[in-house]
Chain A
Amino acid sequence: MTSDPVRDDNARRKAIPLFDGDLARRGYALNAMCFSFNEEANRKAFLADEEAYCAKFGLTEEQRDAVARRDVLAMLEAGGNVYYLAKLAGIFGLGVQDLGALQTGMSVDAFKAMLVRQAEAIPQGARVREAV
């Protein structure tokens, strides 16, 4: 297979999403809504009428759709930043492992097991060091 630099670059950008000015601009409304969820009254208002709450913040069609489908990767594509999206996830009772599972297509248990397995890569003796 020949390598396609454009495709490789896109894949890399997806794999390591850097929240730059372009995303910060595109994602402003969605992130502003998520930022509002620091307040409980706003979380309740969202739950009471999701459509109206999204409209109030002027979410784009793409953002509205991603939120309605609870599609985290689509929210990222639409300019969502994970620090703010985590507050939206919290409303649905989803933690960062649930988010990880949703984005990688693994089950939550498989995702958690993948995290635990990474401990195997720690070299012997590198875990704890205490002063003499």
Chain B
Amino acid sequence: MAKIIGGYFTSHVPGIGGAIVRGDQETPYWKPFFDGFPPIRAWLAKERPDVAVVFSNDHGLNFFLDKMPTFAVGAAPQYDNADEGWGLPVYKSFEGHPALSWHLIDALVRDEFDITTCQKMLVDHAVSIPFELVWPGVEAWPVKLVPISINTVQYPLPSPKRCLALGRAVHRALMSWGGDERILICGTGGLSHQLDGPRAGFMNPEYDLFCLDNLAANPEALTGHSAEEVAELAGTQGVEILNWIAARGAMGDTPMTEVSRNYHIPISNTAAASLLLQAG
């Protein structure tokens, strides 16, 4: 039977990619952020996941306003990254897991989550950077990818409550999968930040720490707000916490151990965090 080994959560802002290209990991500005990752890398090297189910949001690489799915599940044999327009390197492609993707799609729709299916899907920095952070410089990514994309661009966004429920449906689907893979769940983005408007630069450590403190043991606490309220609390891009909430749901309701946590302000315009939860 497939096993969910844990959940890896991290911020994903493009600025991180720039810092990696410049080799800035040890500079005083970046070190406090990058220091969060050695324990996660060590844990992954020991636990050796085969597949990563990644909840993230597209930033205008794969989806545009012509078609904007609330929830989309990748079902491709391969996922490519591409030029996003602001000078990041184009990252390595990802090997997909179409059989598992189609099992999830089938199970989710039967479970009344009417997701969009994508047999072709570009993945942007929201997947590439989290992988680059924990597997720096590898020849090929050591895990297969099942990407799940959540709309954080165009309102109405799905509510935190709905995202947790989606994650739980993904969990049920993974539990009924016949393979024997070791599965890593990932949630990327956040934490609090706002790029647009006169409140640009807004961050909210109080809300971020509320999320970090409750995610493992009491994720329902994060569902007490609407998406609009989250935008107010976490900033308009801080709504990316929806990816974390869905990912937490996909881990199931077994007890969890917090293996590592790092919280730092600022990287770029963002309050950044990394978190690793081990199942059991």
- Least CB distance, A76 to chain B, in whole angstroms: 6
Please determine whether A15 and B59 come into contact, CB atoms closer than 8 angstroms. no
Contact of A123 among B87, B155, B209 (CB under 8 A): B209
Closest chain B residue, CB of each to CB of A82: B196
Please determine whether A116 and B196 come into contact, CB atoms closer than 8 angstroms. no
CB contacts under 8 Å to B, within A85-132, are: 85-87, 89-91, 95-97, 99-100, 103-104, 111, 114-116, 118-119, 121-123, 126-131
Interface segment, B31-39, B102-110, B160-168, B246-254? Answer: B31-39
Please determine whether B32 and A15 come into contact, CB atoms closer than 8 angstroms. no
Interface segment, A1-9, A31-39, A51-59, A60-68? Answer: A31-39
Contact of B60 among A21, A35, A96, A123 (CB under 8 A): A35
Q: Say if the beta carbon of B82 comes within 8 Å of chain A.
A: yes
Contact of B86 among A82, A90, A100 (CB under 8 A): A90
A96, B196: Cα distance in complex, Å: 9
Please determine whether A128 and B258 come into contact, CB atoms closer than 8 angstroms. no
**Residues of chain A within 8 A of B261, CB atoms compared:** 128-130
Please determine whether B86 and A116 come into contact, CB atoms closer than 8 angstroms. no
Which of the listed residues B36, B64, B65 has the most CB atoms from chain A within 10 Å of its own CB?
A: B65
Please determine whether A83 and B269 come into contact, CB atoms closer than 8 angstroms. no
**Residues of chain A within 8 A of B84, CB atoms compared:** 38, 87
Contact of B203 among A43, A118, A131 (CB under 8 A): A118
Q: A126-B209, A129-B260 are in contact. Are A118 and B265 (CB under 8 A)?
A: yes
Please determine whether A34 and B263 come into contact, CB atoms closer than 8 angstroms. no
Dominant secondary structure of chain B at its interface with chain A: loop
Q: Say if the beta carbon of A47 comes within 8 Å of chain B.
A: no
Closest chain A residue, CB of each to CB of B58: A83
CB-based A-B contact count at 8 angstroms: 155
**Residues of chain A within 8 A of B199, CB atoms compared:** 15-16
Q: A118-B271, A127-B263, A129-B258 are in contact. Are A86 and B86 (CB under 8 A)?
A: yes
Please determine whether B200 and A104 come into contact, CB atoms closer than 8 angstroms. yes
A27, B68: Cα distance in complex, Å: 15
A17, B237: Cα distance in complex, Å: 10
Q: Say if the beta carbon of B61 comes within 8 Å of chain A.
A: yes
Please determine whether A40 and B195 come into contact, CB atoms closer than 8 angstroms. no
Contact of B263 among A28, A84, A85, A126 (CB under 8 A): A126
- Least CB distance, B251 to chain A, in whole angstroms: 17
Interface segment, B92-100, B130-138, B140-148, B228-236? Answer: B228-236
Q: How large is the interface on B (under 10, 10 to 19, 20 to 34, 35 or more residues)?
A: 35 or more
Please determine whether A100 and B263 come into contact, CB atoms closer than 8 angstroms. no
Interface size of A by Cβ–Cβ distance < 8 Å? 55
**Residues of chain B within 8 A of A38, CB atoms compared:** 60-61, 82-85
Please determine whether A34 and B153 come into contact, CB atoms closer than 8 angstroms. no
Please determine whether A43 and B85 come into contact, CB atoms closer than 8 angstroms. yes
Please determine whether B268 and A20 come into contact, CB atoms closer than 8 angstroms. no
A21, B157: Cα distance in complex, Å: 11
Please determine whether A19 and B155 come into contact, CB atoms closer than 8 angstroms. yes
A21, B156: Cα distance in complex, Å: 8
**Residues of chain A within 8 A of B87, CB atoms compared:** 90
CB contacts under 8 Å to A, within B250-280, are: 257-266, 268-269, 271
- The 0/1 profile, CB within 8 Å of A marked 1, for residues 185-211 of chain B is 000000000111111110101100100
Chain B interfacial positions (CB closer than 8 Å to A): 15, 32, 35-36, 39, 59-61, 64-65, 82-87, 153-156, 194-201, 203, 205-206, 209, 228, 231-232, 236-237, 257-266, 268-269, 271
Known: A35-B65, A103-B198, A128-B262. 14 other contacts (CB 8 A): A15-B197, A18-B236, A21-B154, A34-B60, A81-B154, A83-B59, A85-B196, A90-B85, A95-B86, A95-B268, A122-B265, A128-B35, A128-B263, A131-B259
